[in-house]
Structure 1
Amino acid sequence: MTRYEYKVIPAPNKGLKAPGIKGPEARFAHGLETAMNALAAEGWEYQRSDILPSEERQGLTSTHTVYRSVLVFRRALEEEPPVVAEAEPEADTAPGAPDPAPETEPNPAPEPEPAEDRQSQTADPDAETPEHAEADDSPRPV
């Protein structure tokens, strides 16, 4: 199906002067011809002229109706190729499910503690060290 776009311009009120054209009717026809040919050069096809009402303000509070003459032109729009929507790849999860956590690299193995620290911990397991005091958050009896 062909689609069109339309252009509406006001009809000329006065004729255009040109050499060899005499009289108000000939000048008016020349002005109309010039306007129509200019739009035809841009690809617009003349359809019709219309007289349409237009409400305009008159003074501060009143309005009155004025009839305007307009020229209607149209041109065919270029046909766009039909757009085929590509199906989106389906996700592994349900639509309402939360997104899976991003894959991360495994944490490296903890480094072995120096031999001196291991000996002090094994010698007195109940002794508090600053390392153990911070790690134990349970309340202590006073």
Structure 2
Amino acid sequence: MAVDRLPDGKWQLTLHDLEPVAVHRLTSDKLHIILAPPCAQPSAADTGAHPVGTAAADPIQIDTAARTVAIDGRQIDVPRLEFDLLAHLVLNPRRAFTRQQLMAAVWPDCRSSDRTVDVHVARLRRRLGPGRRKLISTVFGVGYKYLPTP
């Protein structure tokens, strides 16, 4: 990490060995960028889909470029907010997120209650169906995480 003062007096923060995972425009002059360490394989953000090697084993495939979701090879329709939430969880498997972290990462300009996440998770679970609803796991006292089939 490096912090430099630019000629115009602004500060620049440089984070090495991180790649953008998601970019959201907050206002005309502000961006919210989520960074993550690079993978050995191309990241899902670069390819628009899961990295090779996880796609076959994972029952949910996310194509971020086309904004499509496929479950066991069958494409399903998912509204924008639910797609953003599912993509964030699936692209960060086994990582527990608090409701506040999910709100900040997925809907940074939303001023709703944290319970908004609960509503969208419930809708996603219904869309995934009885056999796949447990892929989005509740972490009691924390929030949610995505658990791909072992």
Q: Report if TM-score (shorter chain) is over 0.5.
A: no
Give the structure with the higher percent strand.
2
Structure 1 or 2, whichever has the larger Rg, is 1
TM-score computed with the length of structure 2 as normaliser:
0.19
TM-score computed with the length of structure 1 as normaliser:
0.19
Identify the structure with bigger relative contact order (alpha carbons < 8 Å, sequence gap 6+): 1
